[in-house]
Chains A and B, each alone.
Chain A
């Protein structure tokens, strides 16, 4: 029982960063800006969250800096794609290369290392225990030691749903994503909307970055984002940019990652276990597409 609760708990922790990034990916895909720089953005923001916290010991400032860095990266991404007509794939890969180089560079300049920085005296994000659940044995483990941002991720999914599907601004964003020229023929400045929307949604990647470096203890490891940006891209692809659907598809990936981790120490070698989330991603997309195609053929 405790084991199960721990697995669920670790699943939730795996879900939330992916969910936050997927929510940003959702906005980007709705306004037709193909963002593959998610990975690099996540890496940069998690590094700067850690860096700020390391020097200033201020958790709020760290979160703010991480969000700002993520928004900055997303702003560059969307400007290059929307205004300068850059090829989205290349813009994204360029920013990812840059992020990998830049974080490792600063890591070696500041901390004189290329591996992990794990200062023992530095605390992570404040843990937030739910009042009643804290006393229930099973659930206390399930929801144990989650941070405010973990809960916020799910709240944000709902908020993003309301913004995108119930408000005027969300309506306009979805519409211009469907038909850019129709929107601009009615006097909408499409590039400006695209850049603003993607940049603002980039702040959610900043939150995800905080979870990576400050979620448990404060620490930074080279390449800490570990393809979560790409996985989030896949998750968003599965839910077709719907914020509530993102909760489900992120859960799938979170679960496989947690599963792989919980199987460590069994007969299956660790390196093979690490493949599981990536295999699951491909499999999920293949199954989903096969299912969608079959459904379309059956429909009368």
Chain B
């Protein structure tokens, strides 16, 4: 046993994140911890890595009880963590990132030759190919993750924690990652994998813990279980699937014709033509960073396109202001709820008002009507079941799921013919996710044209009537519901083409 955590309990304010959690890891083992968002799996690993302190409980590493005040303490006994959000210095090289804090010195100076050489050696030993002198800013996501792993190996970690490592990777990169994990285990490292992707769990793990609502609810050997059992243990009940009526095709409400965007001399969008009809949900599938955000920014007026047209309800709104495009009949659930979709420091009322600030009854001739705004905010909160204490509390005080519900409520209540949903359920719990999905389906029934962008392929597959696949700023495929399978989609998403596989 390389580590053991006994009876760990951790509460944040009044929320119990971990409730009497006990687990252990054996040498050379690949252990998975699965659970929904908010099940407490990240918290327990943060405690192990010294990022959080438990309220009670004991951590034993290498036979000795440990008390970690910070990650350095954890690293000192050989625990390393590949975090979901990479901790890298963008403008520096791979080698510099790897040696940071344990630099190879020559007197007071950096020994860059030795640094590059050492990094090269480690990368060869673990078969993690990388150019030590490449700048992080130029590395794709998969390579950045590799740098994170090498960073931990450089510090001689024996226990490596992966926190949702595949969330940001393309399907091919995920394959490579799983192979890397297996290789590390063969080399004698002990691995903890935190994830909610059960296919990956089954592909690599020896043993699995299932967590739900802060507790460990099950422990299984991977050989003795399967995906459906794990899924049921995770959710606590069998998964519901959406019953969707076939679409009743209507007129085209949103259309782009040959949309192009040049950004810093790079062509981000290449000749994008798509359309969304009334009563239809159209998904855009793609690995994040292939132009989805730019496409939505150009459609919604947040950015000026450099070619092509955007039509909302048949009206040409190309490069009009956000105001004009919204007035033409478009609402927009943005991809990042705190960057674009809300003002975290503003009140719920203020956040609910956005996009209606010049509309009656909320304001007339420039004077706002606080009573109307209050009533409206209260209505949104009630209708969408947002857990909030008062309409005057701050947005950032809401949980992610509730904040997202308020944003969805605001945009859906605009009742526009066109609705754009970008990552509508990213990082929120299953309950909120189902609520939002049901609302989207109801809007579809009402005849709205919905454009859905999501990096969760399952979300796209389960909701969309039609799917466009986007790769490097270009539409590379279009599918009707039923005529697609995720292998083909996955292949197209990384630039492969059907018929040429293997």
Contact = CB atoms under 8 A, between A and B. Distances in A.
Interface string B87-123: 1111110001000110101001110000000000000
Contacts, number: 61
B90 A179 contact: yes
Contact of B96 (A171, A181, A297, A299): A171
Query: Taking chain A's interface residues, is the majority helix, strand, or loop, or is none over half, making it mixed?
Result: helix
B100 to A, nearest CB: 6
B30 interface: no
Nearest to B91: A178
Nearest to B81: A185
A183 interface: yes
B70 interface: yes
A123 B266 CA distance: 61
Contacts of A167: 108-110
A175 B88 CA distance: 9
Given A167-B109, A179-B90, A296-B265, A187 B96 contact: no
Contacts of B96: 171, 175
A166 interface: yes
Contacts of B108: 167-169
A300 interface: yes
Interface string A282-300: 0000000000000011111
Contacts of B87: 179, 181-182, 185-186
B70 A175 contact: no
Contacts of A174: 92
Given A172-B100, A182-B87, A188-B101, A299 B265 contact: yes
A175 B109 contact: no
B71 A166 contact: no
B462 interface: no
A168 B265 contact: no
Interface residues of A, number: 22
Given A179-B87, A297-B265, A300-B265, A185 B71 contact: yes
Q: Taking each of A174, A183, A187, A299, which has the highest tally of chain B beta carbons within 10 Å of its own beta carbon?
A: A187
A245 to B, nearest CB: 16
A178 B90 CA distance: 7
Contacts of B101: 172, 183, 186-188
B458 interface: no
B273 interface: no
A187 B88 contact: no
Nearest to B102: A186
Contacts of B91: 178
A171 B106 CA distance: 13
Contacts of A171: 96, 100, 103, 110
A300 B263 CA distance: 10
Contacts of B88: 179, 182
Contacts of A298: 265
Contacts of B83: 185
A187 B74 CA distance: 10
Interface string A234-259: 00000000000000000000000000
A166 B90 CA distance: 18
Contact of A175 (B89, B264, B266): B89
B66 interface: no
Nearest to B74: A187
A178 B136 CA distance: 12
B484 to A, nearest CB: 36
A167 B79 CA distance: 28
A187 B90 CA distance: 19
Given A178-B89, A187-B70, A168 B110 contact: yes
B75 interface: yes
B72 interface: yes
Contacts of A299: 264-265
A179 B75 CA distance: 20
Interface string A53-73: 000000000000000000000
A19 B189 CA distance: 52
Nearest to B99: A171
Given A168-B108, A299-B264, A187 B72 contact: yes
23 contacts: A166-B110, A168-B105, A168-B109, A169-B108, A171-B103, A171-B110, A172-B101, A172-B103, A175-B100, A181-B87, A182-B87, A182-B88, A182-B89, A182-B100, A183-B101, A185-B71, A185-B87, A186-B71, A186-B87, A187-B75, A296-B265, A298-B265, A300-B265
User: Top 5 A-B pairs ranked by shortest CB distance?
Assistant: A187-B72, A182-B87, A186-B101, A178-B89, A299-B265
Given A171-B103, A179-B88, 7 more contacts: A166-B109, A168-B105, A172-B103, A178-B91, A178-B92, A181-B87, A186-B71
